Structure 1
């Protein structure tokens, strides 16, 4: 199935749901800054996913996920330097532990297939840039006290337009199954990003970002429970150190 088509469906369904809810509730307060900021966030997220999927095709999967995961360093540094968030030394230790844990969990010792290094590094670099800038803009929107629902509407709307253009360029065959999966992901995405924005508004972004990066734990546990996969020893260590990192940030 086309990754672009699945993303388009989930963006479009999420846009219809958020915009429809805002119309019914009478809470639409879109302005130029909100539209531009939200649309840019949506485009960066969609492009980051596309670049990461292409990086998997070009190079070693064992390194792609943990390398792309390092993008979270940029919004963390931005939150500290630009937005002057105070992080204690022990919290910094927790942040570094969580970042290391996320990379260890996603790392795979299997390294099969031919590696085309230059295209792979270019795709990885673009994915890191997209996701890193995305995090900075999300923090910016919460700093400006922009309504999360307005940002989500602009984000899903802008992403839908971008992905529609990408799909016309790629000219891939459309499938019904893509719409089904995309619609489900759209529902989940609304819940996830709504919680993400709320956490950034009410919590410390430098701690929120690394905690959210541990979403890989869900994938790992699903692989164990649903697909009977076995965790490697370093992944088990990563899971336990991730929990330790969270505890450190709460001290």
Structure 2
């Protein structure tokens, strides 16, 4: 079941374009000059430095650069997660109105994640410091993924909307759809966005690994909102070779 679900998700029409967008944003975030992005901050700031105004002014980029780094991080990790709703909009909208539906959806989705950066980025700068930050944030993200709240948010991500007739009405509905889907995606994924920011080296690899985990998790079907083993763990366990599954001692859920 996990293999079929993930394979079906990867075969969705927009996926190659979304992967290309994510790869481009990842490359841009890693190629930014020193002092112009989030990469050099990841896991390297201490609370003492953040509390010192002089140190903050010296170490932190301008707010606009931080915001740009956050948007690039979102674009490097999140696009594959919207392959299903984008495929749905593309297939259920008349040919002449496809872009008028897809563009407002994408705008609404990106707006939610961009505004979320106003909270998540300062939170990451406060928490993602010290040698214990990475295991603590990773553990917190796994606990969140196992929670009923996260499962309810993932279930909302599986809901598809039909747009009304008329280009203007459809565009407004698509924008609302993007905002709603972005809110559900934020509710399911927000702790995972803090994890790469706690990595002192290999920030790009951490973003890729987290993005893959979230994509595999999103490919799993909706389920009752109960405490459960994180669906990403279940899916990756199901994708592992049979010998590896035997050695882990895990059971299927």
Richer in helix (by share): 1
Q: Select the structure with the greater relative contact order (CA < 8 A; seq sep ≥ 6).
A: 1
User: Shorter-normalised TM-score: what interval?
Assistant: 0.3 to 0.5
